[in-house]
Amino acid sequence: MRRFPGQALRLGIAATAVSLLRTSRWRGDKVTVLAEYALPEGEPDIASSAGATLLAQALRTLLEGQDVAGWPVAVVLSDELCRLWQVNPPPGAARLADIEAAAALRFHALYGEAPAAWALSADWDAKQPFQAAALPRALLAVLQALADDKGFHLVEIVPHFVTGWNRWQRALRAGAWFGQWHDRLLTLAAIDEQGLRAIRAVPVPAGADHYWLTQVVNREALLLGLQPPALVQLAGALPAALARPAQQGQIACSQLGAGQANGLSATSQLACAGSAA
């Protein structure tokens, strides 16, 4: 596959499907779906060796017949495959090892898992709270092995929420919360006057509407000791029920980037969220 200047590949990976896109800054269609592949029924535990093997098979099927050698590839992982949390540095922390240990302890407290199977990254800060992310090492090993085998260049592997937060945080109104909506998952960012306070991944039931969103936001605000926001700004393809105005007593929401990636499958929308490679 001939690569022209400004072109790159994006790979979207969810628990149920994978997708490969070609993006172009200056030539032809901005986004072209090259291939999609649905995983077998039943969401695999990607952090396990069995789940990683299943994913490796799916990705090899996805890339079958695709000439990707030499291409830069940006990978976006659905938030259900990642772990996102806030870390409060311990008093007197002065070394990177101190805050790394605090992040690992917080990870174990929140998720009940040993961090050994996860690769942790963060905006490390010994003076103030910071956000951390963990990606399954088994999944990262699959992607690196595939890159070595197919000859493409991994330039970015990032959780979906991070792509949305980096893109939209400056567009958020004062006092609003942010949410990244994708398929059956809402990743909600609680924000106060100091900035990003906490990140919560919430499964989305069928028929989710303003009442459901209000209940979720009120619960999270109560747990965090915050006042509920008057507005939640959401990125992603929202259900029709949330496109209607909120009723009295319900929290309003608005969509960021309306119309982007229209017509694409959920997994291709995921891949489309990646930054330019």
- Is residue 12 within 8 Å of 271, Cβ to Cβ? yes
Same domain, 59 and 157: yes
Token duo for residue 103: 């992040």
Domain of 33 in residue numbering reads as 7-80+135-163+265-272
Mean pLDDT computed over 56-73: 93
Same domain, 184 and 244: yes
Q: DSSP characters for 157-175?
A: EEEHHHHHHHHHGGGPPTT
100 pLDDT more than 90: yes
pLDDT bucket at 28, cuts 50 / 70 / 90: low
CA distance 271 to 74: 8
Residue 205, domain member (yes or no): yes
Which of these, 164, 155, 199, 180, lies nearest to 23 by C-alpha position?
Answer: 155
Same domain, 245 and 234: yes
Return the pLDDT at 20.
96
276 pLDDT more than 80: no
Token duo for residue 46: 């990607």
Same domain, 145 and 13: yes
Return the pLDDT at 186.
95
CA distance 47 to 248: 43
1 pLDDT more than 80: no
Residue 277, domain member (yes or no): no
- Is residue 99 within 8 Å of 66, Cβ to Cβ? no
In one-letter notation, the amino acid at residue 212 is: W
Backbone angles phi and psi of 87, in degrees to 5:
-120, 130
Backbone angles phi and psi of 79, in degrees to 5:
-65, -20
pLDDT bucket at 29, cuts 50 / 70 / 90: low
Q: Where are the beta strands (DSSP E) in 193-251?
A: 195-203, 231-235
Could you count the other beta carbons within 10 Å of the beta carbon of residue 112?
7
Number of domains in the chain: 3
237 pLDDT more than 90: no
Q: How far is CA 47 from the centre of its chain?
A: 16
Residue 229, domain member (yes or no): yes
- Residues 6 or more apart whose CB falls under 8 angstroms from that of 109 comprise none
Return the pLDDT at 194.
84
Q: What is the mean pLDDT of the chain?
A: 88
The domain that contains 188 carries what CATH number? 3.30.420.40
The percent of residues above 70 in pLDDT, for the chain, comes to 91
Mean pLDDT computed over 127-148: 93
98 pLDDT more than 70: yes
Same domain, 244 and 207: yes
Return the pLDDT at 230.
94
**What pTM was estimated for this model as a whole?**
0.90
Same domain, 37 and 149: yes
Same domain, 53 and 184: no
Buried-exposed string 192-231: b where 16+ CB fall within 10 A, e elsewhere: beeebbbbbbbebeeebbbebbbebbeebbeeeebeebeb
Return the pLDDT at 46.
64
